[in-house]
Amino acid sequence: MNLIYNIALYVGFLFLTPRFFYDFITDGKWAAGFKQRLGNVPSLDAGGRKVVLLHCVSVGEANAAFPLARKLKERSPDIALVVSTTTKTGQKVARDAYSQIADLVVYFPFDLRWAVKRFLRRVRPSVVLLTETELWFNFIRLAHKSDARIALVNGRLSQRSFGRYAKVKGFMMRLLSYVDLALMQTNADAQRLMSLGAHGSKVKVTGNLKYELDAATESELTLEFRRRFAIGAGAPLILAASTHSPEEKLLLDAFKQIWKDSGSDRLPRIMIAPRHPERFDEVAAVIKATGFTFARRSENPSARDKTAEVVLLDSIGELKAAYPLADVVFVGGSLIPHGGQSIFEPAAAGKAMVTGPYTANFDAAVKEFLTRDALIQLPDNSGKSIVAAFDELLDDAGQRGNLGTNALAVIEANRGAADRTIEYLTPFFTSGE
């Protein structure tokens, strides 16, 4: 199976090579950090310190892992912390958020053996912390071979992913044998991992690190947005966060009806923040086709910014600053079978939230938020359902306030995952380990 896996990787890499070169030219998704993804990261001079590699795929993982990283540095200030990400957006957020505590922020290598070997020679981690479901066979095997201690933190294994992994259970058993510790979000996640072959003594439940987010406050960037786009000047704001195609079209079509239903004294505005930067121009074209007036964050400020019916947040790493501005937040990736983006950031901002019907990525959390009356989930992705939910919330400030208060209460009630995680990781940092 190992041979088949590596052959498939090389075939896939060669097949995608033309795409990589195309994106070099167009500055697309894969252009940033391509050399580093081949293992060409800066060599780290740790000065004899223990090197800890914390790998976060993208924005959500980087934000969620930050409280853990901060506590690790407080507990063990002499460690050298290296943070890696896979995506361009994750890299931007990690470079900003971890600037005071990380010795190095780099891209994670492709799971090609020679790229992984080069990466490990340059970083030389003693401890590897992989977030959520980052189970890369060559990286884990070679890191284990280099005597690094390996832990899965904030581990998550959805039913859908479990079904795929179960088809190659023998391969997964071997992969998981190289993992020293698996700290999972829920009992269900832990049970699924053990069903794939993880030894029960290595699997613990610590809760979800995404509940550790600090309560959102208005930053300088928030105030800049408020001034530039005249947000709060009598018009409620709907923030469509981390949207995927064709959610923008679905929301804007519904927004036309919401406008018709709104009284002249409360005509809402909508800010759209696409999940993937390479779609910014595509989404701008979708907005333009609807006939709404709109402004783009990436363009120079102009008079239309203050009156635009739609604001396109076409920037990287700025969504967090927009949450405090919103009256209602729609959480993207949930009107389509993607599984939904994170509900934790808007919840930490104390905002009323709406999701579509597809939330498998955060199934347990969504169920708790619904039970605590801290979230509205649409029964389907029809325009009728979207309009009904937003009309109701825009008409009732009290309901918006209750949903936001309840959402923040759920966040507060579930804190503690970072401390539990560090407790289990302590032996990794003990002298001589």
What does the pLDDT look like over 240-259, one tens digit per residue?
A: 999 999 999 999 999 999 98
Are 85 and 91 within 8 A, CB to CB?
A: yes
Triad 139, 87, 422: Cα angle to 5°: 60
Residue with tokens 């023998």: 170
Structural contact between residues 368 and 410, judged by C-beta atoms closer than 8 angstroms: yes
Q: Which of these ranges, 43-47, 118-122, 204-208, has the smallest mean pLDDT?
A: 43-47
Residue 9 pLDDT level (bands cut at 50, 70, 90): confident
> Which residue would you say has higher pLDDT here, 128 or 259?
128
CA dihedral 278, 208, 181, 149 (to 10 degrees): 50
Do residue 285 and residue 196 come from a single domain?
A: no
Reference 335, options 421, 426, 244, 423; nearest CA is 244
167 or 217, higher pLDDT: 167
DSSP 177: H
Residues 293 and 233 in one domain: yes
Task: List pLDDT tens digits, range 266-288.
Answer: 689 999 999 999 999 999 999 99
Helices then strands (H, E): number in the chain?
A: 18, 14
Pair (201, 288) in one structural domain:
no
Residue 375 lies in a domain: yes
Q: pLDDT tens digits, residue range 132-148?
A: 988 999 999 999 999 99
Residue 212 domain flag: no
Judgement on whether residues 276 and 355 belong to the same structural domain of the protein: yes
Taking residue 327's Cβ as centre, other Cβ atoms within 10 Å add up to 22
The CATH number for 390's domain is: 3.40.50.2000
Q: Residue with structure tokens 């825009």?
A: 394
Q: Which alpha helices (H) appear in 76-156, and where do they start and end?
A: 88-97, 113-123, 137-145
Q: Evaluate the CA torsion angle 258, 346, 56, 206 in order and state its sign.
A: negative
pTM of the model: 0.90
**Together in a domain, 177 and 314:** no
Contact between 242 and 275 (Cβ < 8 Å): yes
**Cα atoms in the 13 Å half-sphere on the side-chain side of 227:** 8
- Rounded Cα gap, residues 275 and 59, in angstroms: 10
Q: Quick one: pLDDT band at residue 25, thresholds 50, 70, 90?
A: low
Looking at the domain assignment, is residue 313 inside a domain? yes
Q: How far apart are CA 15 and CA 17, in angstroms?
A: 6
For residue 215, being part of any structural domain is answered with no
Q: What percent of the chain has pLDDT over 90?
A: 84
What residues make up the domain containing 374? 220-413
> How does residue 433 score in pLDDT terms, banded at 50, 70 and 90?
very low
- Are 228 and 359 in the same domain? yes
Q: What is the mean pLDDT of residues 403-417?
A: 97
Q: Are residues 225 and 135 in the same domain?
A: no
115's CB contacts (< 8 A; 6+ apart) are 37, 38, 39, 109
- Residue 226 sits in the same domain as residue 258: yes
On whether the CB atoms of residues 270 and 238 are closer than 8 A, the answer is yes
Q: Which residues contact 373 (CB under 8 A, 6 or more apart)?
A: 402, 403, 406
Do 13 and 152 fall within a single domain? yes
Count of the separate structural domains present in the chain:
2
Apex 256 CA angle, 255 and 262, nearest 5: 80
Pair (73, 181) in one structural domain: yes
Structural domain contains residue 299: yes
Site of tokens 């990436």: 298
Q: What six digits make up the tokens of 243? A: 């949207």
In angstroms, rounded to a whole number, what is the distance separating the alpha carbons of residues 43 and 295? Answer: 43
Instruction: Examine the domain organization and report whether 425 and 400 are in the same domain.
Output: no
Residue 279 in any domain: the answer is yes
In a domain, 69, yes or no: yes
- Residue 374 located in a structural domain: yes
Tokens 């990794």, located at residue: 428
Contact of 57 with 87, CB cutoff 8 Å = yes
Q: In one letter, which amino acid is 395? A: D
Residues 164 and 301 in one domain: no
CATH number at residue 188: 3.40.50.11720
| Structure tokens belonging to residue 282 | 């595509």
What are the residue ranges of helices labelled H in 151-237?
A: 159-166, 169-177, 187-195, 220-228
- How far is residue 90's CA from residue 332's CA, in Å, rounded to a whole number? 17
The rounded mean pLDDT for the chain is 93
